[in-house]
Amino acid sequence: MQPRFEFSVHATDGKARTGLIRMKRGEIRTPAFMPVGTAATVKAMKPESVRQTGADILLGNTYHLMLRPGAERVARLGGLHKFMNWDRPILTDSGGYQVMSLSALRKITEEGVTFKSHIDGSRHELTPERSMEIQRLLGSDIVMAFDECPRADAPLDVIAASMRMSMRWAARSRAGFDSGEEHAARSALFGIQQGALNEALRRESAEALQEIGFDGYAIGGLAVGEGQEAMFATLDFAPDMLPVDRPRYLMGVGKPDDLVGAVERGVDMFDCVLPSRSGRNGQGFTWNGPVNLRNAKHAEDTAPLDERCPCDACTKYSRAYLHHLHKSGEILGAMLLTEHNLTFYQQLMAGMRDAISAGQFAQFAARFRQDYLKP
């Protein structure tokens, strides 16, 4: 019988680690990359195709699903897993980031956030308790605490006040989640460390979260425009502040070289829209760096996009055909390149897991950077 939530570290190499999360809906191999299914779909992909790329878990978006089709409707239709035909674990974000980044006329108070929908201007309120309720209605397996995510370049006093309010919201999220009885008995709750780039605030946040107690811990407030160097500088200390026996999840990251650098610093889980969004826009990620298939130089190139990739886009079609599809605006171009990018990301995660298990992560990372970042 699968446990509610169990995390085990199988091997470490420096700070990098590989392990397994066991949940009632299945196992999640770490380091893990979660494709983003914003509106109950990974754009341009069928769920079974996403699974075939190697994904163990998807991310769903609380903000978008609460606005359309509505959490109550999803619940009436049997929950998010049945609704979108995905029977493995789903992590749902809390909605906080999207409220801050997408909503017009938002107002933040101690109670929560009131905002107008970016879709139709309708008025909504999101509090820690309502976020927990929405994620419960969706049937989420990993629920994220409700938090505020200020810009990394905001004044330090603003970042500190926001972090402390997020910690109070974390305690309310914990209470709201625990009141969910049947859902709480089969799901997990993650807290989110905030504090932008400041080490002292990150430590204060980590201590507050551990006092509340969570199944896993996310590192929030990064990849919001601060740049890779500043993000890595923060990741040099932030993951070490979190419990070693719990998964560490870096939210909203990122580019392939971001993932390698973050795993190097002790991170276990990731999500990002980049592979699917880039696929729709004609960019393919390869072991030799990103390729813009809209460029004219690919118009008569009969080579595969990536010789090392087993996906359909690489084994059945040429760069010239992929170029044609994207220049012509054909839907198949978005489908094939999204499938390729998600396959590449899962190959990258599998490669890191194998390298950590073999005690060869430093060599893997060096070889990856040499090929991927070559001038």
Digit-coded pLDDT (tens) for 280-289:
999 999 999 9
User: Tokens 């903000």 correspond to what residue?
Assistant: 63
Q: Name the packing angle between helices 331-357 and 319-328 (round to 10°).
A: 130
Average pLDDT over residues 335-348: 98
| Whether pLDDT at 20 is above 90 | yes
93 among known catalytic residues: yes
The residue type at 230: A
Contact call for residues 219 and 206 (beta carbons, < 8 A) = no
* Residue 118 burial class via C-beta count within 10 angstroms: exposed 0-12, middle 13-18, buried 19 and up: middle
Dihedral, CA of residue 8, residue 233, residue 33 and residue 58, to nearest 10: 100
pLDDT tens digit sequence for 95-154: 888 877 766 678 899 999 998 888 898 999 999 999 999 999 999 999 999 999 888 889
Find, among 143, 135, 124, 141, the residue nearest to 67 by Cα. Answer: 124
Query: Is the model's pLDDT at 325 over the cut of 90?
Result: yes
Supply the pLDDT for residue 102: 66
Nearest alpha carbon to residue 263 among 176, 350, 371, 333: 350
Which entry of 147, 258, 268, 271 is annotated as an active-site residue?
271
pLDDT, tens digit, for every residue of 286-313?
Answer: 999 999 999 999 999 999 999 999 999 9
Q: Are the beta carbons of 293 and 274 closer than 8 angstroms? A: no
Q: Is the pLDDT of residue 316 over 80?
A: yes
Query: What are 216-261's pLDDT values in tens digits?
Result: 999 999 999 899 999 999 999 999 999 999 999 999 999 999 999 9
Give the pLDDT confidence score for residue 115 in this predicted structure: 87
pLDDT number for residue 121: 87
pLDDT at res. 202: 98
pLDDT score at 61: 94
Q: Which amino acid is at 172?
A: R
Which of these is catalytic: 56, 93, 147, 306?
Answer: 93
Crossing angle between the packed helical segments 256-264 and 361-372, to the nearest 10 degrees: 160
- Report the pLDDT value the prediction gives residue 104, as an integer from 0 to 100: 62
Q: Which helix (DSSP H) or strand (DSSP E) does residue 114 occupy?
A: strand 113-116
What would the two tokens of residue 166 be?
Answer: 């997020």
pLDDT digits (tens, 9 = 90+) for 183-214: 999 999 999 999 999 999 999 999 999 999 99
pLDDT number for residue 103: 61
Predicted confidence (pLDDT) at residue 15 exceeds the cutoff of 80 = yes
State both tokens at 248.
């560490």
